[in-house]
């Protein structure tokens, strides 16, 4: 089985890296469908990584999921009408499109319409690049927009969101967990949960950001055919919005719509004051975590600032 829609894009990155902002802005482009969260893609990676299910099953499930999703979108079935949600159609550049689709008849003509329209289906995803080789074995063709953000900014944002204490305690925190001796851990710590118990709530945020960032860098560097991959940063999206979105639209082979500039203004971009409080954040983190852990974070921060971990040279 293959997806009936050929153009799929993942807006991917670590939590708090700017995926939803970027996905919202991209939703203003021509040819785009409204974006979706990619939990199904994210949650099957752990199962594959830990040998809990087969690649054949996961590929069949995900292809079927994609086909059902785009088929239903063409009928405005299960479409989000909540205006306060970023995935709500009011935050799409042409919300009337989904209202018109409510009147469409279902049937084979819907599949023909999907193929003829050549629309782009975007997903906002967490951490797929961190385990890219596992996903790549599924052989599902997608384009990746990988978003990186200052490690210090990520850690500070994680701390503000309480990520160091919410795993397994907050029912509204939907991160996938595993249990070892009835203790919940983020799934990507499945090989070394003992470390988690030794860290305070601030150090947990630092540890996870470093782990996921290093995994993403390694996987991103090793991709051989780079034509379907676009690398950007939160800084570029927020600080040089028009220029970066132009590059992304070219990468996706589409163009700005009449609403794109309105979307940019709505998100208060570009923001030239982005780095104003970075030193305050560095000092805050430094006081809360072990010296060795902080040094690892600060080393990663310097590599980010220098040349985006060397990725600027190859992307």
**So where are the chain's domains?**
7-313
Mean per-residue pLDDT, 187-205: 87
Any long-range contacts for 275-282 (C-beta under 8 Å, 24+ apart)?
275/235, 278/150, 278/152, 278/153, 281/152, 281/153, 281/156, 282/152
At residue 147, the 3 state secondary structure works out as strand
Q: What percent of the chain has pLDDT over 70?
A: 98
**Dihedral of alpha carbons 15, 16, 17, 18, sign:** positive
The predicted pLDDT at position 185 comes to: 82
Tokens at residue 307, please? 């040349």
Tell whether the model's pLDDT for residue 249 goes beyond 80: yes
Tokens at residue 168, please? 């397994």
Tokens at residue 200, please? 């305070």
Give residue 151's pLDDT band: very low, low, confident or very high (50, 70, 90).
very high
The predicted pLDDT at position 239 comes to: 93
Count helices and strands (H / E) in the chain: 15, 7
On whether the CB atoms of residues 13 and 129 are closer than 8 A, the answer is yes
Give, to the nearest 10 degrees, the angle between helix 151-160 and helix 201-221: 140
The predicted pLDDT at position 191 comes to: 77
Task: Please name the CATH architecture into which domain 7-313 falls.
Answer: 3-Layer(aba) Sandwich (3.40)
Tell whether the model's pLDDT for residue 206 goes beyond 90: yes
At residue 232, the 3 state secondary structure works out as strand
Rounded Cα–Cα distance for residues 157 and 162 (Å): 9
Rounded Cα–Cα distance for residues 303 and 224 (Å): 22
Mean per-residue pLDDT, 234-243: 96
Give residue 274's pLDDT band: very low, low, confident or very high (50, 70, 90).
low
Element (H, E) at 173: none
**Dihedral of alpha carbons 77, 81, 87, 90, sign:** positive
Q: How far is CA 296 from CA 34, 275, 284, in A?
A: 39, 21, 16
On whether the CB atoms of residues 33 and 73 are closer than 8 A, the answer is yes
On whether the CB atoms of residues 10 and 144 are closer than 8 A, the answer is yes
Q: Range with the lowest mean pLDDT among 29-33, 49-53, 138-142?
A: 49-53
Q: Give the CA angle between residues 65, 68, 74 to the nearest 5°.
A: 140
Give residue 230's pLDDT band: very low, low, confident or very high (50, 70, 90).
very high
Q: How far is CA 25 from CA 39, 168, 249, 282, in A?
A: 20, 32, 11, 29
Q: Average pLDDT over the chain, rounded to whole?
A: 93
138 vs 175, more confident: 138
- Phi, psi dihedrals of residue 293, rounded to the nearest 5°: -65, -40
On whether the CB atoms of residues 27 and 259 are closer than 8 A, the answer is no
In tens, the pLDDT along 164-190 reads 887 777 788 777 887 877 778 888 887
Mean per-residue pLDDT, 55-70: 97
Mean per-residue pLDDT, 290-301: 97
Q: Give the CA angle between residues 8, 10, 12 to the nearest 5°.
A: 175
Rounded Cα–Cα distance for residues 199 and 197 (Å): 6
């Amino acid at each position: 089985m293959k997806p009936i829609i050929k153009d799929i894009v993942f807006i991917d990155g670590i939590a708090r890296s700017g995926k939803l902002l970027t996905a919202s802005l991209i939703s203003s482009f021509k040819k785009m469908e409204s974006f979706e969260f990619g939990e199904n893609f994210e949650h099957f990676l752990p199962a594959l990584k830990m040998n809990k299910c087969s690649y054949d099953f996961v590929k069949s499930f995900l292809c079927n999921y994609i086909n059902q999703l785009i088929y239903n979108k063409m009928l405005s079935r299960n479409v989000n009408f909540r205006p306060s949600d970023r995935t709500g159609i009011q935050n799409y550049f042409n919300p009337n499109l989904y209202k018109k689709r409510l009147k469409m008849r279902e049937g084979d003509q819907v599949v023909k319409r999907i193929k003829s329209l050549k629309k782009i289906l975007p997903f906002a995803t967490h951490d797929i690049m961190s385990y890219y080789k596992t996903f790549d074995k599924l052989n599902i063709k997608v384009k990746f927009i990988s978003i990186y953000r200052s490690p210090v900014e990520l850690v500070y944002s994680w701390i503000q969101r309480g990520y160091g204490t919410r795993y397994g305690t907050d029912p509204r925190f939907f991160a996938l967990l595993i249990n070892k001796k009835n203790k919940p851990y983020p799934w990507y710590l499945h090989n070394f949960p003992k470390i988690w118990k030794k860290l305070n709530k601030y150090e947990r945020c630092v540890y996870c950001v470093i782990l996921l960032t290093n995994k993403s860098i390694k996987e991103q560097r090793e991709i051989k055919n780079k034509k379907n991959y676009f690398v950007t940063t939160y800084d570029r999206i927020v600080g040089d919005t028009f220029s970066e979105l132009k590059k992304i639209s070219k990468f996706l082979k589409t163009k700005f719509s009449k609403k794109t500039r309105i979307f940019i203004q709505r998100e208060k971009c570009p923001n030239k004051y982005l780095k104003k409080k970075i030193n305050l954040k560095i000092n805050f983190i430094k006081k809360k975590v072990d010296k060795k852990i902080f040094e690892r974070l600060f080393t990663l921060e310097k590599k980010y600032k220098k040349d985006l971990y060397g990725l600027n040279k190859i992307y």
